[in-house]
Structures are given as C-alpha cells and as structure tokens.
Structure 1
Amino acid sequence: MGEGHDGGKVLNIKTADVKSAAPVFRKQGKKLSDALKLLVTTLDGYGEPWGDDKPGKEFGKKYSPNQKQLERAAGIAVLGLVSIHEALDDMADGHVDNDEAIAGIFTKEQQHGGDQGKGAK
C-alpha cells in the first residue's frame, strides 16, 4: 500500500523515501548545533570582537542585547531538526505497521469470506 504507484491515490507515501530523508534532518541539526557551539564559545572567548569602529558599534548595539535570545532560538531550531528526524522515523514505522494491519484484515477476510456464503439462503 505505501509503495503503490497509482497516480489517482490521495496519499502515496513511500516509506523508503521517508526513511532516507529522516537522517538528513539529524545531520543538519548536528551541523547547526556545532555551529552554535562554535559561535557561542568563540564570542564568549573574544568578548566583543566586532570592533570599535562605527559598523562594529552598530552591530554590538543590536547583537549584545539579543545574544541570549538568538542563541536560544538557534537551540530551538536544532531541537526542531532532531524532532523532525524522529517524527519521520516514527511516521515511516507507523505507516508500515498500518499497512501490515490492513493487509492482515484483508487476509483474514479472504480466509473467512468463502465460508460465509455456504448454507445461506
């Protein structure tokens, strides 16, 4: 069911595609996490490295009061990417389980369906 190729289907989920896409989110979440750690540790180590010139002062004036909020927002983005990875894995697993359950229902119907017509008038 999940691997069908009928163009008329409303929902055509290919579990292999979902499974292969999931790790991309984990990988990108890791990259963003590493970049955030580097940014935080580097800036904390240098103090205010943007300089004393006019552009540096303008940047510092806008960045400093918002630094923690920006770091928190990037952290939320990291968690979001990781949770998308987990959700895609869960969705693919659930889709496979659902397909197996539906297939089981039809298999049971086929096994018992032939007996229902016998003796009935």
Structure 2
Amino acid sequence: MAEEQHDEQLQTVMGLIINGGNAKSSSFEAINAAKKGHFTVADQKLKEADKFLVDAHNSQTDMLTKEANGDHAKVTLLMVHSQDHIMNAITFRDLAGEIVDLYKKLAKEGE
C-alpha cells in the first residue's frame, strides 16, 4: 500500500514538473513569436501554456484535497522542486502575456 502511494505521489510530482516546464516553454515561444510579429501564434502559445498550467493546477488540487482528507503526503525535495517549478511557470506565463501585449501595442503604433 505504501509503495502504491509513493508511486502515485512520484507520478503526480513528475507531472507537475513536466507541465510546469511545458508551460514555461510555451510562454517563451509566445514571446518569440510576438517579437517577430506573429501574434496569432503568440496567442496560441499562451493558450497552450494555460492548458499546461490547468493540468498542473488540477494535480495540485488533487494533492490538496487528499491532504485535507487526512492523507498526508511525504514532503520530499522532489515535491518542493515541483511546486517551485509550477510557481515559476505561472509567473513566467503572466509576464509573457504582458510582453506579448506590449509587442502588439508597439506593432499597432508602428502602423
């Protein structure tokens, strides 16, 4: 039983890391697309980042629900890293949205 919980927790934590990394990568791709004036691609990449963050958020919510129900997870360095990864991805996504908007504004002013 304990082995199953460990495996499930490891799978969740790795999913958080993967989704966080993917969200950050998509956000960076959005900035690069906007920099080139490809605003449709930039918007698509921001939406893609949002999807990865929703997946991560759902995993976090599942972990929080289990914790609230008394199923306490063992806090490991990997779990802490996964949470850090998600927080950085969220921050980077927010900043990428602002940068894309700025590039759009600059392009409109240059018309």
| TM-score, length-scaled by structure 1 | 0.46
| TM-score, length-scaled by structure 2 | 0.49
Q: Which has the higher helix share?
A: 2
